[in-house]
Chains A and B, each alone.
Chain A
């Protein structure tokens, strides 16, 4: 009996948490399916209206921005390219950096590692001027490379991979050595498959991090062709229901990534426990 009471209480608390998270999103979604006129006169809506297809297709394909040079669809594409680029490059660079630091006889490896680690104290916002100058001298303003490269090395990801590699028993490397592996095949055949879940976790973190970038793309792009979703959010001057529709759509890509990688992601987070 007490089991049922406690489980009811637990579910009640969890349900409240869930509602606090979901209800605002639902209200925005429901409102985004009404016409602007209806919302302006009747306030936010809890129930679905019948302008869903109208509103969403208008937002996706309408030319917007200051010079009306870009559609929301293009912004999604830009954000997707940028976030995927940042996530992929961070995974690759940090995997390799950690491999070098842990498995090779690098002099002062720990010192180098901490040097990498303290770059966490220097976020992009702090080094935005030098980064911009470097990128502009490389003629990378208004390119995807310019958007991606300065954010494509992650100290925290290097830290995660390093800790994970350190937890792999030495015997595994020794057994592999006797089985005729070399440094490259050990990396490909062992470390990458073993850190699969960790890679998924880092990929998601870095994807969301890249997707949420605002200041850097704002500075790096002068052409509206390179606008990202987050920049678009700030400059959506359409009607209120259009803005709501855009907000809802802007949440979709990270959610999709998490849905696909969720199982690996959760294993990855708890792997080091």
Chain B
């Protein structure tokens, strides 16, 4: 297919997209992005994830050229693009609200960028039709965006990006306006298309499910700073900071404030042997709700305050001392609110963080 980018014979010395010490300070003094460096390889699917207002969109918009860069350097395919006009960067973006051109038909929406590049009519026709078929919107080419459903608009917005065969796709929370079912469907489709075309993609979202399922690598951002970069598995199994630990995973990781003396964590009157020789006055001990092992001969005993039934699973909310925690277990176990249960916390499954700087110990 025409739009398939051949990347096998391209010799890569440096990364495809390099961000070096990128800082963005808005005129009102807000620091949106702080000293961020990142390398993205050709063909990689990278997800920026973080809470709203963390600077992930700003970072994406700087790559697109829609925001000025206060400090630092962005280079794409070996060229510094700081001062290159967005139209000449060869990047395509899918916006949260799709930003389709309301007065143009679907065909013209997709063809507009190509027309501006002076591509011949025939070639535009072929390209648009190919992409429309790929996205199954070839029946809609004559319609105006106002006559399309949310999912169809989403496809057109994607088509508009794909048809240009850019160096990078940028997705700015493109799924947040869709209903849950459609969102899952489009998520799979985006993943499939990206695989098929092998175009480097950056996807911004605040939804950790999207981040985990889509990304080859995830960049967790908080307050304009990159907290961790890694594969979904790395991020989930070995969060570098307390923030990442809390942000990724559903239900949230339990974090117990505790004192650690000679490798033994003191949480209220509970003791957990960490099998090391750490001494930290103010620490957080993290354990994922599904890593808490419930068994009749467990060491610790608690009362289930609340039980949430989720079909195959259930979530039990309980307390150790005055610290709440939750555990997730199969709903086949018969446990009701008010019952006591026994559990173990294995020292191989816990995550330990120093509360003074939030980093992993």
Contact surface of A with B, Cβ cutoff 8 Å: 169, 171-172, 174-182, 185, 189-190, 193-194, 196
Contact = CB atoms under 8 A, between A and B. Distances in A.
23 contacts: A169-B99, A174-B64, A174-B66, A174-B86, A174-B93, A174-B95, A175-B100, A175-B160, A176-B112, A177-B87, A178-B64, A178-B65, A178-B91, A178-B92, A179-B112, A179-B164, A180-B87, A181-B116, A182-B87, A189-B112, A190-B101, A190-B103, A193-B103
Contacts of B112: 176, 179, 181, 189
A177 B65 CA distance: 9
Nearest to A190: B101
A179 B113 contact: yes
A194 B86 contact: no
B102 to A, nearest CB: 7
Given A169-B97, A171-B95, A189-B112, A177 B102 contact: no
Contact of B87 (A181, A190, A194): A181
B11 interface: no
B102 A180 contact: no
B117 interface: yes
A131 to B, nearest CB: 38
A169 B98 CA distance: 11
B119 to A, nearest CB: 11
Task: Give the size range of B's interface with the partner.
Answer: 20 to 34
The 8 residue pairs across chains A and B that have the minimum distance between CB atoms: A179-B113, A180-B116, A171-B99, A180-B87, A175-B99, A193-B103, A171-B95, A177-B86
B172 to A, nearest CB: 9
Interface in B14-33: none
Contacts, number: 59
Contacts of A175: 93, 95, 99-101, 160
Contacts of A179: 87, 112-113, 116, 160, 164
A44 to B, nearest CB: 50
A181 B104 CA distance: 15
Given A175-B93, A175-B160, A189-B112, 15 more contacts: A171-B95, A171-B99, A172-B101, A174-B66, A174-B93, A177-B86, A178-B92, A178-B113, A179-B113, A179-B116, A179-B160, A180-B87, A180-B88, A181-B116, A194-B103
A180 B93 CA distance: 12
Nearest to B66: A174
Given A177-B66, A177-B86, A180-B87, A194 B116 contact: no
A260 B359 CA distance: 71
Interface in B63-88: 64-66, 85-88
Contacts of B116: 179-181, 185
A194 B102 contact: yes
Contacts of A176: 101, 112
Contacts of B160: 175, 179
